[in-house]
Amino acid sequence: MTVVTRFAPSPTGRLHVGNIRTALHNYLFAARHGGKFLLRIDDTDRERSTAEAEAAIHADLAWLGLHPDATVRQSDRFALYEREFERLRAAGRIYACYETPEELDLRRKVLLGRGLPPIYERPQGENTPVEGRDPHWRFRLDHDDAIGWTDLVRGEQKFDPRLLSDPVIRRADGSWLYLLPSVIDDIDLGITHIVRGEDHVSNSAVQLQMFAALGAQPPELAHEALLVAAEGKLSKRLGAVGVGEMQERGLEPMALLSLLARLGTSQPVEAMAELGPLAASFDFAHFGRAPAHFDMAEVEQLNARLLHVMPFAAAVERLPDWVDETTWSVLRTALNHVSEVDEWREVVRGDIAAPDLEPEDRAFLSNAVVLAAETDWSEDPWHALTNTLKADTGRKGKSLFKPLRMALTGRESGPEMAPLGRLIGKERSLARLQAAAGE
């Protein structure tokens, strides 16, 4: 069996962390099994769906590196839905209803007031048409047998269909709701595994009966725990965290994907530069049922780890012209975002202001000026200079290294000084040591 998964966003906005995670897990599962990852644009809601949002979805997936093997659009498939709708209707599995939303809401309140579940009360025969009203349509659930499946994340699942309302599948204006077209697509496209959030569990129970009514074997199901904000509460802000914010922050897509691939699993979160290793280790057996806590601070940490080992070739198109491969290999270890590299231009190539140091540190640097002038800068000037200064002055640790770093870079922290010193060069280093010493 060839594994086929699908990601099915509605084109109503850009991708956020929740649906990015769903797309990623479908992609990784298919990749691990040498299968196919499909993109299905769920644009049956014509009022909310826009061409701009669909284009944004394609662009966001491309930026993330999640390239689908094929793309289908539900708005191109209405003839297929119509055909299967009529087949189910002829079989008695679909029936017309004429209640208004207000009437249904009132009935739910009455049932709740009686302590009863607010389930749609199916008529014994056909619903009586109401003059002046077009019907909406419901799928008739089979109440004879319990609905059950072995979920790849949640284990054994059981639903009593008598406790579920017959779902509305088509509105009075003829437009489609999600449930039935999705099943028809999954059958037609040969989807073997459906991976989505646990908020779809009850939908899956209903859809399993739709697969059966259409004479199809249902896909395997995996319902993952939902993402929650870092503080443990469901957060509307998670809906705003996505590709747009990632790009504004200057973050690498693999920083986000490295976190989302392992979040909520027993596996350690690691900064991965490519999707391949994440796919090779992807297994639903590692997933837990507790909510997965998402924190942008973790993405930032992973981003820094990725940059600290990022090859020049992976960054060169985003680097300013003055940064060559040697310069990048030195500066990348101090960066949290690629854009920060330009903040080091003056340190490496230009002039910096002399730091305000204590008198004893200025005296120490006066000694350093003499020794630096005598040091061979063709090999390892930093260690040669610091070893000599340590022997001459007795300074070590912070008292030895901090004044030198401040004099040479104007900063208390940054890349390793040995390679950075070679980038700065002898002439510029001597001038900075003299200025910091007050000479």
**DSSP letters along 191-245, please?**
--EEEEEGGGHHHHHHHHHHHHHTT-PPPEEEEEPPEEETTSS--GGGGT-BHHH
Percent of the chain with pLDDT over 90: 89
The pLDDT, as a whole number, for residue 256 is 97
Model confidence band, residue 230 (pLDDT cutoffs 50, 70, 90): confident
Answer with the residue of higher pLDDT: 124 or 317: 317
**Three-class SS of residue 413?**
coil
Considering the chain, what is the average pLDDT of its residues? Answer: 94
Question: Residue 237 pLDDT > 90, yes or no?
Answer: no
Residues 378-407: pLDDT tens digits? Answer: 889 999 999 999 999 999 999 999 999 999
The pLDDT, as a whole number, for residue 46 is 83
Question: Residue 414 pLDDT > 80, yes or no?
Answer: yes
Q: Which residues contact 2 (CB under 8 A, 6 or more apart)?
A: 34, 35, 36, 190, 192
The pLDDT, as a whole number, for residue 312 is 98
**Domain segments of the chain: what residues?**
228-308, 312-343, 351-437
**236 annotated as a binding-site residue:** yes
Rg, C-alpha atoms of the chain: 31
CA 93 to chain centre: 39
pTM reported for the whole predicted model: 0.92
The pLDDT, as a whole number, for residue 239 is 63
Query: 371 near 388, Cβ under 8 Å?
Result: yes
Model confidence band, residue 140 (pLDDT cutoffs 50, 70, 90): very high
Question: Residue 154 pLDDT > 80, yes or no?
Answer: yes
Helix axes 417-424, 398-409, angle to 10 degrees: 30
Residue 117 backbone zone (phi > 0: left; psi -120 to 50: alpha; other: beta): beta
The pLDDT, as a whole number, for residue 207 is 98
Model confidence band, residue 28 (pLDDT cutoffs 50, 70, 90): very high
Backbone angles phi, psi at 155, to 5 degrees: 80, -150
Residues 37-94: pLDDT tens digits? Answer: 999 999 998 888 999 999 999 999 999 999 999 999 999 999 999 999 999 999 999 9
Residues 262-297: pLDDT tens digits? Answer: 999 999 999 999 999 999 999 999 999 998 899 999
Q: What is the mean pLDDT of residues 115-134?
A: 87
Model confidence band, residue 373 (pLDDT cutoffs 50, 70, 90): very high
The pLDDT, as a whole number, for residue 360 is 96
Query: 388 near 375, Cβ under 8 Å?
Result: yes
Mean pLDDT lowest among 125-139, 142-156, 200-214: 125-139
The pLDDT, as a whole number, for residue 235 is 54
- For the purposes of burial, counting CB atoms within 10 Å of the CB of 391, is it exposed (0-12), middle (13-18) or buried (19 or more)? exposed
Question: Residue 231 pLDDT > 80, yes or no?
Answer: no
Residues 333-362: pLDDT tens digits? Answer: 999 999 999 999 999 999 999 999 999 999
Residues 158-196: pLDDT tens digits? Answer: 999 999 999 999 999 999 999 999 999 999 999 999 999
- Is 228-308 in CATH node 1.10.1160.10? yes
Model confidence band, residue 233 (pLDDT cutoffs 50, 70, 90): low
The pLDDT, as a whole number, for residue 232 is 55
CATH pick for 351-437 out of 1.10.3720.10, 1.10.1060.10, 3.30.565.10, 1.10.10.350: 1.10.10.350
Mean pLDDT lowest among 19-23, 45-49, 74-78, 247-251: 45-49
The pLDDT, as a whole number, for residue 219 is 98
